[in-house]
Amino acid sequence: MSHLQAGDKAPAFKGLDKDGQKVSLADFKGKTLVLYFYPQDNTPGCTSQACNLRDNLASLTARGIAVVGVSPDDAASHQKFTTTYSLGFPLLADTQHQVIEAYGVWGEKQMYGRKYMGLLRTTFVIDGKGVIRHIFHKPKVKEHAQEILSALEG
């Protein structure tokens, strides 16, 4: 579980998207950033979450909110995932877990009674000054955009 809390300064990050373009926290100065961490491209829950954000991107953008996804998948996987589902936001390839570790979202998971280490699905809402305003530790993948909008309104 992440050691970060609402009110903390968000860790600076830099990464490459599916096209090899640099993306960093500094790119979003003055905007609200939804930085969402997800386990793996093209899996049911991750696809539902990405498509929910895609389908509601206009509503998020209208409120000055940018979206960036992060997973341990490589750029080629992100390219295919983005193309298949027409995602309109960057996905960072964090194969070395630098951003994942900085945000504390790599930890023990359990499936079918088996314990293993993996990415803990988590979303951080970061304001334009780089401060974490909200953390979703277990976002509802099919309702995630509404969760975000509700948290920002509240």
**20 falls within a domain:** no
Residue 4 within a domain: no
Each residue of 78-109: pLDDT tens digit?
999 999 999 999 999 999 999 999 999 999 98
What CATH number did the domain enclosing 109 receive?
A: 3.40.30.10
Please report the pLDDT score of residue 18 as a whole number. Answer: 87
Check whether 2 has a pLDDT greater than 70. no
> What mean pLDDT is reported for the chain?
94
Strand partners, 24: 14
Domain assignment present for 17: no
| Residue of 23, 25, 34, 46 marked active site | 46
Strand partners, 132: 126
What letter would DSSP give residue 80? H
Q: Which domain holds residue 104?
A: 31-153
In a domain, 52, yes or no: yes
Q: Is residue 6 part of a domain?
A: no
Which of 152, 125, 133 shows the shortest CA–CA distance to 8?
A: 133
How does pLDDT run across 22-78, given as a tens digit for each residue? 999 999 999 999 999 999 999 999 999 999 999 999 999 999 999 999 999 999 999
Q: How many other CB atoms are there within 10 angstroms of residue 17's CB atom?
A: 19
Q: Are 116 and 105 in contact (CB under 8 A)?
A: no
- Considering its fold, how many domains does the chain have in total? 1
Does some domain include residue 50?
yes
Mean pLDDT for 108-121 is 90
Q: Is 51 designated active site?
A: no
